[in-house]
Homo-oligomer: A and B are copies of this chain.
Amino acid sequence: MARRRLIIVGGVAGGATAAARARRLCEDCKIILFERGPHVSFANCGLPYFVGGEIAEPDSLLIQTPASLKARFDLDVRVKTEIVRIDRTARLVHAREVETGREYDETYDALILSTGASPLKPLLPGIDRPGHFMLRNIPDVERIMAWSSECGRCRAVVVGGGYIGLEMAEQLRRRGYEVTVVEAQSQVMAPLDPEMAAWLHRELRMNGVSLYVNDPVVSFEPPSGREPAKSSIVVLKSGRRLPADTVVLSMGVKPEVTLAKEAGLEIGKLGGVRVNEHLQTSDPHIWAVGDAIEVRDGVTGQWALIPLAGPANRQGRIAADHILGRPARYDSTLGTSILRLFTLTAACTGANEKALRAAAIPFEVVHLHPGSHAGYYPGAEPIAMKILFSPETGKLLGAQAVGHEGVDKRIDVLATAIKAGMTVHDLVDLELAYAPPYGSAKDPVNVAGMVAQNVVRGDVTLAQWHEIALLDPRTTFLLDVRREDEWVQGAIPGASHIPLDELRNRLDELPRNREIIVYCQTGQRSYIAARLLRQQGFRVKNLTGSYRTWDAARWLSEQRRPEVEGSE
């Protein structure tokens, strides 16, 4: 019997994983891995860190080479080789060597497409000017480094405030650049809801990065004697003109589906390859994985594009398993993701408010600011947490967190809980590792469960940060229950002040004909106040996340600037 032939197009993440997995399952198979670029299996998520010098050697991003994959897995790896056409009837791919132009065919029994995503590049005037860069592979990084080595105190403009844009902003700042981030939407980091992204706005400004939101780029103009710059003048819709010695274009990605489309494979409405639960395309001999495909959102059930390394690797393994007769099924993607931005960590999992509204799924939101570990052990800092859940069942729908220490841990626990179909009641019962350096007897995740459980059970009614600006003082009484020293450092305009510990004895100062919205620093003491007032017959809501969430959201504004600029 002839050796079974597996061909994989694309040698990064999903493709490389599929090839290695296939060999472990099938020592006899002929496995050919085609890659258009010069490298296979490189760590593309590490690219930005190389720019700022955190990762010193570009070679350390090369996890495998064609030679090492040959020696270890007997893989036939062909880099700098493009697949230009699939002949589905004959089951062959037509390959072209990028450097020599040589063309040839290879037949397959099974074909895996791992073609990834390509950067979005809108047709803006001047977008191809010199000194404009995108970040997709090691040569891209080397080009940025070469361009900027000639430049002293450079000004960089980063167009797009997503993961890569923000990571590049930080790394260029580390390099000593003057950095400006330009974002067309009202906030950076679309997976976060605005009041959580606001922490990132603050962190950027605290670290000396300029940020313009709600202001898309309309053109890139040539510099002039009056407006000198090494690269371009970045012109925004507002009319703002930003001279740039380097421009980083990080405006998102789109699935790379040219090959699939030309082969007549089904493409979804979002533009990704459509696959079934075994990651098979509309042709049962062709599988597709990674950033090129559409997946089901794990919370909303809708089709989605979720270009992340973790799911891509998992899909590679599943495709190889299925091709080689193993039980293998890809269910959905939650989109758990994380960003480090200077001293901050921001992470999220599941659905955000926007996604839940779009899917018409009812949800409730709690905010909290628990300490990263026991308050009596040095170094604890608050984590801003947001939990989204079903108001009826308490089922977890999404979570977001921003802070310094322990953010990744809590989001990973919550991602596991969402995957397991847990409710906020289940979060209360989780047994998480507690010693003073690591957490608290009531871990932030437990506390999140308790806070949300109180809402589901009807023990407390919440107000949200964005409602505060719309309050009518004729119908609403805003009550601050913090200590005097907190109150004098800044409060929400229009609030009255009674410290929690005096509240029980000062009930006659409160109106019974208005709704009371009570807040403290984080929402914990105001919850105690809300319970007290409700049992005394008042109509009361607790401002979830309280002053800390309300104050953070003010960083969404273009105007807010740090009082102390970040050092250079």
Contacts A/B (CB < 8 Å), 14 sampled: A27-B532, A45-B441, A46-B376, A72-B500, A310-B434, A310-B443, A314-B429, A314-B442, A337-B435, A340-B437, A340-B438, A409-B412, A416-B417, A419-B429
Residues of B within 8 A of A339 (CB): 435
Q: Which of A47-76 contact B (CB under 8 A)?
A: 49, 54-55, 60-61, 63, 68, 71-74
Interface string of A421-444 (1 = CB under 8 A from B): 110001011111111111101110
Nearest CB of B to A278, in Å: 14
A206 within 8 Å of B by Cβ?
A: no
Flag if B415 contacts A433 (CB, 8 Å): yes
**CB of A43 within 8 Å of the partner chain:** yes
* Chain A, 10-38, CB within 8 A of any chain B CB: 13, 24-28
A270 CA / B446 CA spacing, docked (Å): 29
Task: Please tell me the number of chain A residues within 8 Å of chain B, measured between CB atoms.
Answer: 90
A457 at the A/B interface (Cβ < 8 Å)? yes
Instruction: Let me know if A433 and B336 touch, CB within 8 A.
Output: yes
Contact A46 B442 (CB under 8 A): no
Given contacts A27-B532, A72-B528, contact A337 B376 (CB under 8 A): no
CB distance from A298 to the nearest CB of B (A): 8
Tell me if A523 is interfacial: C-beta within 8 Å of chain B. no
Q: Hey, which chain B residues are within 8 Å of A163, CB to CB?
A: 435
Whose C-beta in chain B lies nearest to the C-beta of A340? B437
Task: Find out whether the CB atom of A431 lies under 8 angstroms from the CB atom of B311.
Answer: yes
Contacts of A13 in B (CB 8 A): 441
Set of chain B residues within 8 Å of A428, measured between Cβ atoms: 314, 317
Closest Cβ neighbor of A418 among chain B residues:
B431
Q: Is the CB of A441 within 8 A of B312?
A: yes
A335 contacts partner chain B, Cβ-Cβ < 8 Å:
yes
Residues facing B in A362-397 (CB within 8 A) are 374, 376-378
Taking CB as reference atom, which chain B residue is nearest A327? B457
